[in-house]
Amino acid sequence: MHVDVSGMVCPQPVSIVRRCLEELEPGDELVVTGDYPPAERSICRTCYKHGYAVADATATDSEGTETFSLRIRVPERATPSADETVPRS
């Protein structure tokens, strides 16, 4: 699955990515592209917090605009909801 969050500012990109990740199965990947560095950091932080593996790449286009691309892999057991605060035994 691929989602482009270019032109969006926080918290919208994080919300979109979380919604997409909830639709995926373990082992699936979500590729996220965008152009707002704070959104990249927020997405990465949220993914790490909930157990998703993230590979990233940053590039600069011919106009000097910095863009990012994140490859987020859904693990066998992820915690997609921030509402889950009860530890599991």
Check residues 88 and 11 and name the one with the higher pLDDT: 11
Domain boundaries, the chain: 2-73
**9-28 per-position pLDDT tens digit:** 999 999 999 999 999 999 99
Q: What is the pTM of this model?
A: 0.77
Amino acid letter for position 76: E
Average of per-residue pLDDT across 62-71: 84
Known catalytic membership, residue 44:
no
Catalytic residue among 10, 20, 44, 47: 10
Domain covering 2-73 assigned CATH 3.40.50.300 in the classification: no
Q: Which long-range contacts (CB under 8 A, 24 or more apart) does 20-26 make?
A: 21/47, 21/52, 21/72, 21/74, 21/78, 21/80, 22/80, 24/74, 25/74, 26/74, 26/75, 26/76, 26/77, 26/78
Largest CA distance in the chain: 52
Q: How confident is the model at residue 62 (pLDDT cuts 50, 70, 90)?
A: low
Average of per-residue pLDDT across 63-88: 70
